[in-house]
Structure 1
């Protein structure tokens, strides 16, 4: 059973920060959000552990200013499990680590078969964690004691796991690999907003016609605005499939909309005026969206043999070579080099194929120096060999 202290006010924050500042070594940090329940990705609980200080659970719903916590631990290494999920929520509260250690990413680089927190803790420390509340609504107040204990366990063993993985990384000569990967996570910029986010509606492919797409766009925006206002996950108000069903049914009145049995969700009837107004707005819109939008997405590899035979040969030659190198390094292929990076350099290779030019092309896509060092020569050799490879010798798998 983990011992923890819940911090809910400025006085408790000051005391906790004094203890953490007096602690030693890296600081384990975790965040609980209410994904799937709330519109925002804000932190609803921030867990911190440091040796010599203990476990503290900070409640962001009652603490406005986290600058004392930043001051107390800001110069230390922060230890996360899947840091990319937590960093945005922490930054929203003014918390910024100077450097990190990511135990999930470290486990991937080491080739661990299971990389969830519970599996990594069990494999490295022999301790079994209960994961009963991972999908809970952390915006709930008051938080049940069993949830708080679960949250405390998420950080209590994390520094010990970090030390075990750091030793294993050193044994496998992967310390520098991990350092570069951790720094890349820390420096990664948020993706720019999608130009047409409404096109991510699940099932939108079944909607035909630009006018119907305009209705789908208006319904999506109406749901988005209401979800943001209520701070509720959009799908909990009206699921995607319900919005698409309303578009396809093409109701001619508000009553007809209410009669569509597939139009479900907690707000499907209570906000009926909102949805009907959106349908009317979409039908009257003078700006009709195109059926398709330009994209730099590559064709699926199975289509390459017809669309770009040379690229097809390059990919089929390089992919098993990169997979073999990943096997030699004892890590998943996607951690050595993402499939998208390999596909892009295969589709549009440098004019003069060498390890240096391939490496430069990979660097433009964001590959880290260690990844380039391990793969550029392998890819260049494969591309050159593919030029003389007969079409029927290529691997048919895509």
Structure 2
């Protein structure tokens, strides 16, 4: 086929624009009261989004809140100048919130006193419906046929005053959430997944994430560190950097990158000159806080052996799956059987397998299942365990029988392979 016969690619979808022009920016008590009155008079759910200064600030606070409701239009709130947003919370009492990726925005909205009475998460709805990509821009283009500009997604939202192009970008994130919610909700009903979604949304609304233990272990490159003393140095440097970052409200990596922590922990210098001469030790705060880094390394060097961290954190969960075959071959068979069956079930239901059942709940249940092997009692025990870990009822109903079958099957000693005559 010649170039002349090759069909031209389809034109890109039109760029989404603000249908009502730039929404007002609410910065005063009078403007807040006026907005709350308008929102309370609106109908249906309210679309909400928040902008944080990730990568710039230590805190995850909201630096801008965008809202849109039918009959009201869009508003943007600068929360920095308000001691309380209680009037907004009261105006939205009993109103469903539409969020995209609620786990990202709810903590910062809760921090300013905003809590939803009901919730619809468009990202999670997309996952439950089996969409391969569930970013907001992708769903808007797929379902609504508009292209969403994302050129300001990584800017420093703590900047004041906020540039007009940034505000326009932010307003677009709630421009079509109402329409997107309607399409996804209808598809959830059509596929029989609306009750699953309701349970997931209720769980998100009330879920409180656990405080991460040993967060320093997530230092990038820590796997290259050898020896418990060096691990202790990573911990001391990480915690020192974290304290400085919190005091200055700056993201930790802007003070000292993870790579610098790792090289310093491996070299274990004992004074400022040798620390600053360590190849790879760099960053804005490398020299400025050099005395603090040296002190942190000194504390690691002075620890007794029994105070040094181990390579793997101690926890209350099961061992890593790769160790199951050696520690408990029967448990390893349970896990292999359940994983295979859950993968098939996920494909059948057009779901990501991690949404069928959280992997941690799977491992915990199969490592220490109920002792009974009477099928009915075992099913009740597995359901109780899964619910105790946090699995939603629809997940228990869907995945519970798979785990029961895996437990009963794995407990039967496999037939030995027949000997091959030579």
Q: What range is the shorter-chain TM-score in?
A: over 0.9
Q: Does residue 50 of the first structure (1) align with residue 69 of the second (2)?
A: yes
1:384 matched residue in structure 2: 408
- Residue of structure 1 aligned with 2:338, choices 318, 328, 342: 318
Comparing 339-348 and 113-122, the one that deviates more: 339-348
- Residue of structure 2 aligned with 1:343, choices 341, 352, 363: 363
Structure 2 CA distance for aligned equivalents of residues 389 and 173 of structure 1: 39
1:59 matched residue in structure 2: 78
The count of residues paired between Structure 1 and Structure 2 equals 392
2:9 matched residue in structure 1: none
CA 318–145 in structure 1, closer or farther in 2 if over 3 Å, else same: same
Q: Does residue 123 of the first structure (1) align with residue 142 of the second (2)?
A: yes
The Cα offsets for residues 115-139 of structure 1, whole Å up to 9 and x where unpaired, read as 1011111222222211222222211
**What value does the CA root-mean-square deviation take over the aligned residues?**
2.0
2:297 matched residue in structure 1: 279
Contact persistence 2:270–2:297 (CA under 8 A): no
CA 126–97 in structure 1, closer or farther in 2 if over 3 Å, else same: same
1:288 matched residue in structure 2: 307
Contact persistence 2:233–2:268 (CA under 8 A): no
Structure 2 CA distance for aligned equivalents of residues 105 and 320 of structure 1: 24
Contact persistence 2:129–2:351 (CA under 8 A): yes
CA 284–310 in structure 1, closer or farther in 2 if over 3 Å, else same: closer
CA 48–202 in structure 1, closer or farther in 2 if over 3 Å, else same: same
Which runs of structure 2 are paired with 1:187-202 in the superposition (5 Å)?
Answer: 187-194=206-213, 196-202=214-220
Q: Does residue 261 of the first structure (1) align with residue 279 of the second (2)?
A: yes
Rg larger in structure:
2
Question: Any stretches of 5+ residues in structure 2 without a counterpart?
Answer: 1-16, 418-422
The Cα offsets for residues 186-222 of structure 1, whole Å up to 9 and x where unpaired, read as 111231352x333333333444444444433332222
Displacement of 1:389 in angstroms is 6.7
CA 5–366 in structure 1, closer or farther in 2 if over 3 Å, else same: same
CA 160–210 in structure 1, closer or farther in 2 if over 3 Å, else same: same
2:39 matched residue in structure 1: 20
TM-score (normalizing by structure 1): 0.92
Three-state SS of the structure 2 residue aligned to 1:222 is: helix
- Residue of structure 2 aligned with 1:145, choices 128, 141, 164: 164
Three-state SS of the structure 1 residue aligned to 2:79 is: coil
Displacement of 1:304 in angstroms is 2.3
1:396 matched residue in structure 2: none
